[in-house]
Amino acid sequence: MERTGEAYVNRDKEDEMEISGYNLCYWKLALVSLGTVCSGGFLLLFLYWLPELSVKWTCHAVPLQEARVLLLRTTDEFRTWFRIQVCSLSAPGSDPLGFPQLSESKRPLCQAVPLEDWDCEEGLLSPPGFREQTEVRFFVHHNTRYFWNVESQSFQRLTALDCRLPFSSLHTIHGSGLPRGTQDYRRLFYGANQIDVQVPSLPKLLIKEVLNPFYIFQVFSMVLWSLDNYYLYASAILFMSLVSICSSLYTIRKQYVLLHDMVATHNIIRVTVYRGPHETEEIFSTELVPGDVLLVPPEGLTVPCDAVLLSGTAIANESMLTGESVPVTKAALPDPSRAANGPHQDPAYDPEEHKRHTLFCGTSVIQTRYYSGEPVRALVIRTGFSTSKGQLVCSILFPKPTDFRLYRDAYRFLLCLVGVAGIGMLYSVIRSVRQAEPVGRIILESLDILTITVPPALPAAMTAGVVYAQRRLRRGHIFSISPQRINVCGQINLMCFDKTGTLTEDGLDFWGFVQAQDGCFLPPGQDLRSPSLTSSPFVAAMAACHSLTTIGGTLSGDPLDLKMFEATGWVLEEPTLEETARHDQIQPTVVHPPDQEPPESPKGAPEDEELMELMKVYQIGLLVQFPFSSALQRMSVVTRTLGEKRLMVYMKGAPETVGSLCHKETVPENFSTVLESYTRRGLRVIALARRRLESKYTWHKVQHISRDIIESGMDFLGLVMLQNKLKPETVPVLAELRRACIRPVMVTGDNLLTAISVGRECGMIPAKGKVILTEALPPRDGQPATINWQYTDELPAPEIPNKASKQEIKLMLDEEELPPVPRPGIPEVSYHFAISGKSFCVISEHFPDLLPKLLLCGTIYARMAPDQKTQLVESLQKMDYYVGMCGDGANDCGALKRAHAGISLSELEASVASPFTSKTPNISCVPDLIREGRAALVTSFCVFKFMALYSIIQYLSVLLLYSILRNLGDVQYLFIDVAIILSLAFTMSLNSAWKELVPQRPPTSLVSPQLLLSVFTQILLSLGFQVGAFLLVQGQLWYCPKENGACGLDPCNITLLSPNVSSLVNATARQEPQPGEEEADGEDDSVQSFENTTLFYISCFQYIAVALAFSKGRPFRQPTRTNGLFVASLLATSGFLLLLLLWPMPALDEFFELACIPYEWRLILLVLALSNLVLSVSLENFVCDCDVLWQRVCYTRRKYEYPNQATYPQLELDEMAPGYSCRRQAPPRAKYKRLAQELLFDPDWPPQPKTSTKGRGPPAESSA
């Protein structure tokens, strides 16, 4: 029988899954049902938690085409299993984008008529009896539908019109809309056009929450305690569990409601669709399917789906998706059949590649411009959860599991605790059997050990630190949609920053310009409003080449466009809707110099005179706009100047790009030198060019012409320089990150030299740092790919705080802040690679072995496209960096989502592209997030160690008492678990983050030597003091195995130094208790005893001691004394225990079931408790947490002996030891650290100036 375990869905994609087919097996189902009954339902719970076994134990494998049950498993590192039920539907066809099929016997004669015959088709589709029904199999996973493909014999994701269809197909085949019958047919496959975030009912949420293994274990524990007569303790735990469940239900439901409200605004609105070339119908947006054609009204709308513009233009606000509040102009998709250069060019449509033609779901169209005879039409390409917003909502509803070492180690540690509990259970059974205990008692006591060793409150206690950190971040205006990533932020060691709007101000200041004429640069200038420049092509290009629009009487658009247009002083006028409607063609936007209004002609003036007066007015009409593309790095407009017949094209963009598209004779020979002189100053340089189109290019032809044809053969006009100032917070924040050994990296779409200059100015590149320009060229003309290495000249850098303390190393792995120490043979400079986006792609493809070396020391990445930024983050993560990304949320969405910690500096909290969103528009949020992440991570370790020690301490106490057939009492358990443990565990998490970042990082693993030593020393200490006290009390002269009622004397009245104690004990020990007394005290025999009382006091003080020892303060958290609630809890519990110990009260002793012991023994217990406290705190602080000691024990030095720097956990070349491991010669675990060690002994690295490296040469050769 065929096994389909090797079949896949979403092959070679991020969400790739293995798929296997199964059908129900009734004999397996019967056995599982029987096992469920016999196990009291636990087998069913077990299968609920493990979908893989639930399928394999109840079904048998079958081929996929026969399967009714599917088993999915992700192919990522998490290997998550899903059980899916196969559904089926009956439809008159099997092609989702096709048309209903009719039965051959019922097919009318007009079937051969083309689809454009709407009356015929509508008549065919109306009678349902005429349709030939086909069964279509599908399943739904994470709100995505997968349909069975008969041809490929596999399940495939349901696609729509976003699967790279030609432009011509979208205009001709799909451009006229759908008849009602076809719309209903497609809705069978695609469902309602609705991002329906179902808010689960409270009963459903309650059942799902209660079935969590954590709560099932608590239910099991409460039943066990009730059977053991611990009613009070079980009731208290039940109350706390109910509070926890209610709190969790409230939080989960609130998140669902917020998400539901966020997407509900566009879920159900009324829209107008085309039912043919001219007929329209108003329907609800939920009825839309791919292929419908929307009418976009002039006043705009909230887009209910993803749609591509077929005609007209629209201005959209995409702030919901990108976080960028600047409106975006959307142009109609070019129609190849109407192109001026012929219909042979027919590119494939892709929503991501052609964003400027696409209206995305959830965005708002502010206004439209259109032809009077052809309104703004948009073709629906995706609906529901397939839209861009739907995919974002799915990423929130079904987040990718967080892979963090702490959680993996925590589960392993819990398994170890279960193993320890097994040993204790075995000991308890053997001991009880020897003592001839009843079988029921033996079972209860052995299972009780399991509930003691594995603390039910552990998950809640560990989550508390993250919850408190999230609350503090919210107070700092940093919002998170993924709280579990806060812990990961504590390990960030490399931070990527976008430049514009992140490191620098959003606004640009006009700095100056330099014109080009006859292939030479003219002297630079600053005043563009000079009368001599008013009618110059240079100023006309600045005034016309932009994407600005008027919204509410205010100019709006890209800040760069706005600043350049304002510098000219020109005026922009847009036509009104009435003006557009009066003409057969769209009325252009007009720009003209200031103080120039069309003259008012006197009444009765001849038309020729009026025309002559108008001709004197200098106006430029903007006919066609090709918006700025980050991939092309340019934009252009086609214009017509009033009074001229031929059209003019103006273009602006990156100087290198614009220069390459201009006639060589118009580009000055010193172009590169002049450009470099300005970019080195950190100026943003924009190049301008123009082209006078030939007379064959008419207004109608340029409406559908390819921009590649227009944007060529240009005449170079000159350069515009704008100053992008650093934000005031940038330099101090980057200096703080460098002091904390966190590598700052710049990832920008700006010019490479401008980025280098900004990098020097903000301190990313130190004053003495050398920058290596890395230019990679792809293979060409039979020549292999080549990398050219060029060193930039050193320029004086601005002063950086604490610059005197900077220490340069041979290769910049981590820029540490160390006092300058003379080191023989080590250069005084560091090396920083600067790479462009094109070079990054070439190196990734042709030099994969060289890429890690460049990433190790790369500081500047310029001209990076959005997908290249994402690739860079992924490459850095593969080198074992914990990568953070901080950007403005516009072009950084992919990188923000991919990074371990993505921070969007968006002013809109609704930006869902990033795990973290800061309302503060500067990078000061980065250190705050890392500090809170470190504090939360250390808190998690502290709480975990405390809860583990609590379990072990109680485990030891119970085992010792079991050895004499005793146990802790109900009230004692309640006091320990509630009054001591919960109060301390939840308040010790309240320590705020330390005020500054320090170089060392908190550990990531629970199995590090320091943490293991910390736990084991405390366990041994607790064991020693408990066993010592246990044996010591049994050796006292007043001690007897039975309690005071059986011994016949009151130990409270015995003085330990009395000479008659021995005789009294010997005399009374021989007295036999009366039968009535023994029966009366039988219930107390299992609790009240001298050993119970002694261990109760000792263990309670041990809980307080380990809580104080494990509550870490500096350097990651504020000192313990600043945590008022924790200090209050310590003082309250300690004070009450001292009151109970030193001032005994019969009522309290009876309530806690404590035996009456001599006062001198109480003082001895106090001395033991204080000794335990001193030893616990001393061992933790001076042995387990002593950096200097661990530095000497674990780390070695190479070549030179330097002062100990335990605060530098990362490997620093020629300074620090191989790694953070106690194996002296063991290589570091992190790949980037191992690579750094290898480069120490590579004589050919870094590359020499003015050399090149050839590809395809194993090994790569270098030549001067």
List residues with catalytic annotation. 498
For the four alpha carbons of 677, 681, 687 and 688, in that order, the dihedral sign comes to negative
* DSSP class of 1196: -
* Closest CA relative to residue 1151, chosen from 983, 982, 975, 1033: 975
| Contact status, residue 1209 vs residue 1215, Cβ threshold 8 Å | no
Spatial CB neighbours of 291, under 8 Å, sequence gap ≥ 6? 97, 161, 174, 177, 178, 182, 183, 186, 379, 380
Q: Pairing state of beta strands 620-629 and 634-641?
A: antiparallel
Helix (H) or strand (E) holding 69: strand 69-74
Strands (E), 240-335: 270-274, 280-284, 293-295, 301-302, 306-311, 313-317, 328-330
Sign of the torsion angle spanned by Cα atoms 19, 20, 26, 30: negative
Kind of pairing, strands 270-274 and 280-284?
Answer: antiparallel
Q: Please say whether the beta carbons of 840 and 876 come within 8 A.
A: no
Q: Are 1142 and 1135 in contact (CB under 8 A)?
A: no
Phi, psi angles (nearest 5°) of residue 586 = -65, 135
Q: Which amino acid is at 364?
A: S
CA distance 1240 to 350: 46
* 81 sits in which H/E element: strand 81-85
In the chain, the amino acid numbered 1181 is N
Of 312, 320, 287, the C-alpha closest to 370 is 312
Q: Which residues of 146-162 are buried (b: 16+ CB within 10 A; e: fewer)?
A: bbbeeeeebbbebebbb
Q: Judge whether 755 and 817 are in contact, CB under 8 Å.
A: no
State the pairing for strand pair 313-317/916-918.
unpaired
368 neighbors 312 (Cβ within 8 angstroms): yes
Q: How far apart are CA 611 and CA 606, in angstroms?
A: 9
Q: How far is CA 472 from CA 884, 1119, 1123, in A?
A: 20, 17, 14
CB of 406 closer than 8 Å to CB of 1004: yes
Residue type, 828: E
CA dist 195 → 89, 192, 284, 694, 1032 (Å) = 21, 9, 14, 50, 70
CA dist 1234 and 689 (Å) reads 50
Q: Could you tell me if 543 and 535 are in contact, meaning their C-beta atoms sit under 8 angstroms apart?
A: no
Query: Helix (H, G, I), strand (E, B), or coil: what is residue 1027?
Result: helix
Bridge partners (DSSP) listed for residue 18: 8, 73
Cβ within 8 Å of residue 436, ≥6 positions away: none
Angle 687-688-693 from CA coordinates, rounded to 5°? 145
Q: Residues 200, 253: contact at Cβ < 8 Å?
A: yes
Please tell me the distance from the alpha carbon of residue 877 to that of residue 858, in angstroms, as a whole number: 14
Q: Residues 960, 428: contact at Cβ < 8 Å?
A: no
Closest C-alpha to 134, from 102, 105, 107: 102
